[in-house]
Amino acid sequence: MKKIRVALLSFGMSGKVFHAPFLDQHAGFELYAVWERSKSESAAIYPTIKIVRSLEALLEDDSIELIVVNTPTHTHYEYAKKALEAGKSVIVEKAFTTTTTEAQSLAALAKEKKLLLSVYQNRRWDSDFQTVQKIIQDGVLGELKEVSFRFDRFKNTIGNKTHKEQPGPGAGLLNDLGPHLIDQALVLFGKPEKIFADIRILRPDSLVDDYFDLLLYYPSLRVRLISSLLVKKPIPSFILHGSKGSFIKNRGDVQEADLIAGKQPGSADWGIEPETADGSIYTMIDGKDHEEKVRTLTGNYGIYYDRIYQSIIHHTTAPVTANEGIHVMQLLEAAMHSHETQTVITL
């Protein structure tokens, strides 16, 4: 199997938790280098990794084929552009860029250079989302009429990540968790006709948005995407109502928690939620209420990198394309415009 040499542009939580473990265990990738500005934390976990102190050192290394841009959002466009110009394929963390124009520019450059450009939307392979996707595909709820997805956390103090907590391009909760929820909605339902957004600051000392409620309009369906940093008690994160019944489930994917705890992907029980987190379908059978537990499917972020490998080696479609990333950016910008004007925006 041909090995693809990969470099990470940082080794914070994103690099340490979401990228390095999957690249290291995949037979088709060589986790070769990382840009650490002053520390050398990656060497403690990956002793053979090459640590560099500048982006230029990575770009000048002709043996590197793939670069993961997992730095703060406001740097994504600059770093991805430089990597593509240097002839490297590129994976960009969410949010893809800070504007739709930037995203379109990167997509055009990648096409011109005949290079892979993909957005890292790992939440497509969450166990709970995989389950929701199958329920919709199986049609057990009939025609969907109302859907609500939530992605909540409890952070009532201001964090130390200035690129998220200080005003500026790419900052705030909408740019942080919004891309996940929007991408999931687009995967399931396609582009909506209209959008309305309510974006708020809830924490007393916050300088950036920490709550949003997006309403997506489809011909016969409404989809709400909600996120808040002031939800202490988890509430159902997936609520689907259709002509034949409803499905309700809490967010339960275990992969992020396992990765943070140091568990390595690929174990026998990887991505398996406990049965206590299973959702339920509520329907009517013979005129009587019926509840049926639905065993959650297995999640696996490694599928993303499996498909990235196939995309580079066999030129198959990327698991998340640049155009899909552009569509997310378009909805983020439309949401901001809706909030600023307090109007429904036609897309």
pLDDT in tens, 27-62: 999 999 999 999 999 999 999 999 999 999 999 999
Q: Which of 264, 265, 276, 268 is nearest to 300 (CA)?
A: 265
3-state secondary structure of 33: strand
pLDDT digits (tens, 9 = 90+) for 193-244: 999 999 999 999 999 999 999 999 999 999 999 999 999 999 999 999 999 9
Instruction: Give domain 123-300+332-346's CATH architecture.
Output: 2-Layer Sandwich (3.30)
Buried b (16+ CB within 10 A) or exposed e, 212-226: bbbbbbbeebebbbb
Residues 6+ apart with CB under 8 A from 135: 141, 240, 247, 281, 294
CB 260 within 8 A of CB 241: no
- The residue written with tokens 């406001």 in the block is 74
pLDDT of res. 282: 98
pLDDT of res. 309: 98
pTM of the model: 0.96
Q: Look up residue 267 and give its two tokens.
A: 């174990």
Q: Please provide residue 50's backbone torsions phi and psi, each rounded to the nearest 5 degrees.
A: -95, 120
Q: Provide the residue count of the chain.
A: 347
Amino acid at 221: L
Fold agreement (4-120, 123-300+332-346): no
- String of DSSP letters for 43-69: HHH-TTPEEESSHHHHHT-TT--EEEE
How many angstroms separate the CA atoms of 255 and 17, rounded? 10
**What does the domain layout of the chain look like in residue ranges?**
4-120, 123-300+332-346
pLDDT of res. 336: 98
The parts of the chain modelled with pLDDT lower than 70 are none
User: Given its phi and psi angles, is residue 238 left (phi above 0), alpha (psi -120 to 50 degrees) or beta?
Assistant: beta
Residues 6+ apart with CB under 8 A from 193: 217, 218, 219, 346, 347
- String of DSSP letters for 147-161: EEEE---B--S--S-
pLDDT of res. 139: 96
pLDDT of res. 26: 97
pLDDT of res. 1: 84
Written out in words, the top-level CATH class of the domain with range 4-120 is: alpha beta
Sign of CA dihedral 123, 124, 127, 132: positive
